[in-house]
Amino acid sequence: MNKRSLTLTRRRALLGVAFILPWLLGFLFLFAIPLVQSVKFSFNELIIAPGGYELMNVGWKNFNDALFVDANFNRILTDSVAAMLVDVPLILFFSLFAATLLNQKFKGRGFARAVFFLPVILASGAIASAEAAGLINLVGNSEAAKEVGDAQSGVDILSMVIMLDEAGMPRWFIDYIIEAVMRIYEIIRSSGVQILIFLAALQSVPAAMYEVAKMEGATPYESFWKITFPMVSPLILTNAIYTIIDSFTDSPVTQTIFATAFQTQNFGLSAAMSWLYTLVVGVLLLIVGVLISRKVFYYN
């Protein structure tokens, strides 16, 4: 009996399922139950009892308290969203710029790539925990830290403002650039994964395209905007979504939610804050995904 062979589309679909299967199993067995419990907590008041806990239904009270009663949650959430809107374009621009430089052929390229990814390792949970426990010291003594701070503050911001202003740049753009310069280390620290993703995208661009463009007399500037940028545009969407989610990982919002649950013991209010925060992030991801996906170019 002849068996019908799988089509290419079905094989690709099965391969996609195989890739997401570990995450799907982890979600079902590790994450689904706490997710349902958090929904229950958000509509109840959790009372600690000798044998465990009891739930008393309070309806939408926790959500009302989070939005209209709590003095800090709205402000912290708004500030976090505003900071994210400022950081995401800066991180994407710097990541693509750094990946383009690191994709060039030069001596010590491997070491340079490792240097750009080093902040990601230093900011990891294991390193941070070891530093907090006193096992390692990444900063050094206070005098060394002060010297580093004095060196960073040596940037001539006034001259930069005057130069940009004389170039005819609008005031909001000047403020944006100055903000980026003042927070350059934070931007670099948050760009390691994005640089790797962009670097992988740049290495997948067929070299024949650049050769043809060079034969046609295209400049490197034209090659970047006509070849490089469209070819990496799908990864711009990926990095934008990743950066938005990563910006809330250890933000003041998550710290407030944690403190509400484990310091004030108000688990119902904390769960409501978590779902409000999830809703805001979900809406932002939807808007960004729709806007960027319209400009994405897929090469077949």
Residues near 14 by Cβ (< 8 Å), separated by ≥ 6? 6
In the three-class reduction of DSSP (H, G, I as helix; E, B as strand; rest coil), residue 54 is classed as strand
Residue 25 confidence (pLDDT)? 92
Residue pair 173/86 in contact (Cβ under 8 Å)? The answer is no
Q: What is the mean pLDDT of residues 66-94?
A: 86
Higher pLDDT pick, 264 / 26:
26
At 270-299, the pLDDT tens digits run 899 999 999 998 999 999 888 888 888 776
E strand segments, the chain: 44-49, 52-57
d(CA 5, CA 235): 33
pLDDT tens-digit readout, 209-264 = 888 888 888 888 888 888 888 888 888 888 999 998 888 877 888 888 888 888 88
**pLDDT for the residue numbered 145:** 45
In the structure encoding, which two tokens stand for residue 104, read together?
Answer: 């060039």
Q: Which CATH number fits domain 29-293: 1.10.3720.10, 3.50.30.60, 3.40.710.10, 2.60.120.650?
A: 1.10.3720.10
Residue ranges per structural domain of the chain: 29-293
104-152 residue pLDDT tens:
887 877 777 777 777 666 655 555 555 555 555 555 544 444 455 455 4
